Amino acid sequence: MMINKRSRLRKSIVIIGTCALVALQIVSRASCRAPGEYDIKAAFLYNFSQFVEWPSSAFKDANSPIVIAVLGDDPFGRALDEVVQEQPTGGRRIIVKRFARPRDIDHCQVLFVSTSEKNIEKSALELLNGKSVLTVGETRDFIKHGGIIRFTVEKRKIGLEVNLERARSENLKMSSKLLKIAKVVKE
């Protein structure tokens, strides 16, 4: 019985070992990294800058860049910086800024409100009234608190909820391509 068990164990190790070797070999050849939740959300933020039209009053001048900002704890790591390295051809440049507190919020076009700001989310969003800032968040009550786009995660896929009325009152024009994949909701 004992010997039988040992030899079976040895056989198993050989099989698993072979598989591991083959797997490792393949890994060393492949170079893609499966995207994480915030890699995709970062790409969405970048896309928003391309599919939303701001009034000219939202910028200092014709050359000023589109600012994508993060308020509170940054969940993106390097993902957001990496995604804006791919600058759009023509049009405005895109830069990334980070603000720790609502009172630090400076001139920006897209503002991602981190869930770390949950408690003060509502008052932070009120500060931005009439400033044509596309606010993006992911807390349950983000739209209710006056936000414009909310990320949802359903069945491992990222979805969008858009408060169109709010976007209109901030003079933001959303492309139909963006609205096609989003779910329009009310406050």
Residues lying near other proteins in the complex (CB under 8 A) are found at 1-2, 4-5, 8-9, 11-13, 15-16, 18-20, 22-23, 25-27, 29-40, 42-44, 46-47, 51, 72-73, 75-77, 79, 83-86, 114-119, 121, 139-141, 153, 155-160, 177-178, 180-181
Place of tokens 């209710």: 144
Distance CA 66, CA 20 (A): 47
Q: Please, which residue, 60 or 157, has the CB nearer to other proteins? A: 157
Supply the minimum distance, in Å, between the C-beta of residue 38 and other proteins: 5
Q: Please, which residue, 57 or 85, has the CB nearer to other proteins? A: 85
Q: Please, which residue, 4 or 63, has the CB nearer to other proteins? A: 4
Supply the minimum distance, in Å, between the C-beta of residue 104 and other proteins: 18
Q: Which amino acid is at 19?
A: C
Supply the minimum distance, in Å, between the C-beta of residue 147 and other proteins: 14
Q: Please, which residue, 35 or 107, has the CB nearer to other proteins? A: 35
- For residue 90, what are its two tokens? 């023509």
Supply the minimum distance, in Å, between the C-beta of residue 60 and other proteins: 25
